[in-house]
Amino acid sequence: MIRRIASLAGLFAIELLALSSWLDTGSLSGSFGLAWAIGQAGPWVLRFVVLSTVLIALFGYQRAAAEIPSIDERLSKETIHIGYLAGHLIAVAGFALLSVRLYAGSAFGVTGNVLPVAWLLTGILAAMLAIHAFISFQLWKDAVRATGFAWLYAAAVAGAACLLGAVSWRLWSFSVSLTFALVKTVLGLFTPGVIADPATASIGTRTFSVEIDESCSGLEGIALMLVFSGAWLWLCRRDLRFPRALLLIPAGVAAVFLTNVLRIVALIVIGNAGAPNVALGGFHSQVGWIAFNAVAVGFALTSQQMSWVTVTGRSLDAEESAEDATTWYLIPFLAILAAAMIARAATAGFEWTYPLRLLAAGVAIWSYRHHYASQDWRFGGVSVAAGTLVFVLWIGLDWIMRGGAEVDTTAAALGQLSASARTAWLVSRILAAIVTVPIAEELAFRGFLVRRLMSADFEAVRPQSITWRPVLISSVVFGILHGQLWLAGAVAGIFYAGAYRWRGRLGDAVVAHAVTNALLTVWVVAGGHWDLW
């Protein structure tokens, strides 16, 4: 059944692509009546149909899982109906001809509704013929019935998403104006002599100013917050009191909107203070996420601890909450990620604040050192060999994926530092690469994620029993976090997981990782391949 549906979707996608690249709904804007309505609503109807179909498949698949085999069996006795398929192609040809008339006619001011009605009916007929050609209506009916109310949920979600999308376009200018006014007010508290031009939405001082365009007016953060808060409340619905918990959503939206105002104010203050490269560089690219993450975590904590919205009716005291093992497996890695975002936000290109990452990881590891004592930190020669092999593969894959092209700015930036600052930076970079990063990443990816993918009680999973699937998934995630070098990262993840599995010792994975990083350090520093850092 999946193959048939995929074939049908493929056919529709090709036809849609051909038609949409050929016809422009914008040309209907000058027409009237139904033709005008098609021009206005057509793209949104299309988005609704595609989105709701995908959602029905997602929601309905699990619900209908028990009945899919019997439907599959019945479908295997049906072949694709060539007659209906031919009818579909004829109808598509007719639809295309009518489209030409409709879209070209609009330029001359088509006022009648006959042509648009014929166009719509032909399109519907073409779609129905294709649907019936691939799978009979009776089977479709049974399949939809097996999915229960999935179609209703899917239509509701798709409708809400489209509505939100349509409305959001109209909110841009309002959002820019409101953000502009708030930035002007708050900036006045920090900086005298604010220069603001409402016509161009540019604001700043004599030395540094920015233009608040639509993309930084706060709506992106609001959209992310709506998605996040809706998903979070849904997932925690058993712990929360409704409808009062829903009030958290506007609170979160307001918070994320205001943090965007503060972000722009801080950006102008930094730029005005003489660091325009930092303001428009690392700060601009990182602080949006830092603000969103801060609000999202605040939202999650509030929903968990505020007795007014929790079902239990009492807040979660720090003493009451026994620390979950997840914490100490993940904390060093999360500390590095958080420190990296802050470190990048404070720089314009070269990350001279890198020691912050070492410090954050060091503090996290030291804080939970008693927990780590229970791990088996012994290691064998195989882990050293695995680490060396990964190094060779890393260099090779880097060369293949980037074609040997090196974009090196680190050496030049290091050259501008004083000798003591350069030494301090290099020492912290090397210590991080060889000590804290291997420990933090192996705890998170091999110690936690690989086993967590096998069981919720991940600590009970013996490392020797881990299978290929979790190794592959965790390695792909590990690879993605290495950006351009994702393939090398994924391959490395597989080898480190192998080292971990070999004797069930985390020490083997950590040492393999440390050996790779140590060799890479030599390659970078001695060979001058700074772009690998």
Distance set, CA 447 to CA 8, 269, 330, 508, 524 (Å): 44, 43, 9, 11, 28
Binding mask 157-176 for another protein (x = CB under 8 A): --------------------
Minimum CB distance to another protein smaller for 111 or for 367: 367
**What does the DSSP 8-state code read for residue 467?**
-
Long-range contacts of 68-75 (CB under 8 A, 24+ apart): 68/1, 68/146, 71/1, 71/139, 71/142, 71/143, 71/146, 72/1, 74/139, 74/142, 75/1, 75/4, 75/135, 75/139
Q: What are phi and psi of 41, to 5 degrees?
A: -95, -15
Asked whether position 228 contacts another protein by CB under 8 A, the answer is: yes
Closest CA to 88 of 147, 134, 57: 134
Which is it for strands 195-197 and 202-204: parallel, antiparallel or unpaired? antiparallel
Asked whether position 232 contacts another protein by CB under 8 A, the answer is: yes
Asked whether position 319 contacts another protein by CB under 8 A, the answer is: no
In the list 39, 218, 355, 489, the residue contacting another protein (rule: CB under 8 A) is 218
Minimum CB distance to another protein smaller for 56 or for 443: 443
CB of 357 to another protein, least distance (A): 12
With CB under 8 A as the rule, give the number of residues binding another protein.
Answer: 57
In the list 24, 78, 197, 213, the residue contacting another protein (rule: CB under 8 A) is 213
Binding mask 272-311 for another protein (x = CB under 8 A): ------------xxx-xxx-xx--xx--xx--x-------
Q: What are phi and psi of 202, to 5 degrees?
A: -95, 140
Asked whether position 352 contacts another protein by CB under 8 A, the answer is: no
Asked whether position 331 contacts another protein by CB under 8 A, the answer is: yes
In the list 31, 52, 122, 217, the residue contacting another protein (rule: CB under 8 A) is 217
Minimum CB distance to another protein smaller for 87 or for 288: 288
In the window 439-498, what residues touch another protein (CB under 8 A)?
A: 444, 452, 456, 477, 480-481, 483
Binding mask 173-212 for another protein (x = CB under 8 A): ----------------------------------------
Distance set, CA 493 to CA 394, 442, 472, 477, 498 (Å): 11, 9, 8, 9, 8
In the list 133, 187, 203, 216, the residue contacting another protein (rule: CB under 8 A) is 216
CA 411, distance to chain mean position in Å, is: 32
Minimum CB distance to another protein smaller for 387 or for 493: 493
The C-alpha atoms of residue 162 and residue 55 are separated, in whole angstroms, by: 13
Evaluate whether 146 touches 67 at the Cβ level (below 8 Å). Answer: yes
In the list 66, 167, 189, 322, the residue contacting another protein (rule: CB under 8 A) is 322
In the list 200, 321, 367, 464, the residue contacting another protein (rule: CB under 8 A) is 321
In the list 49, 236, 251, 417, the residue contacting another protein (rule: CB under 8 A) is 236
CB of 239 to another protein, least distance (A): 7
CA-based R_g, the chain, Å = 29
Distance set, CA 129 to CA 83, 124, 133 (Å): 9, 9, 6
Evaluate whether 159 touches 210 at the Cβ level (below 8 Å). Answer: no
Q: What are phi and psi of 471, to 5 degrees?
A: -65, -45
The C-alpha atoms of residue 438 and residue 418 are separated, in whole angstroms, by: 29
As to burial, measured by CB atoms within 10 angstroms (0-12 exposed, 13-18 middle, 19+ buried), residue 103 is buried
Interface with another protein (CB under 8 A) = 213-218, 220-221, 223-224, 227-228, 231-232, 235-236, 239, 260, 263, 284-286, 288-290, 292-293, 296-297, 300-301, 304, 316, 320-327, 330-331, 333-334, 337-338, 340-341, 344, 444, 452, 456, 477, 480-481, 483
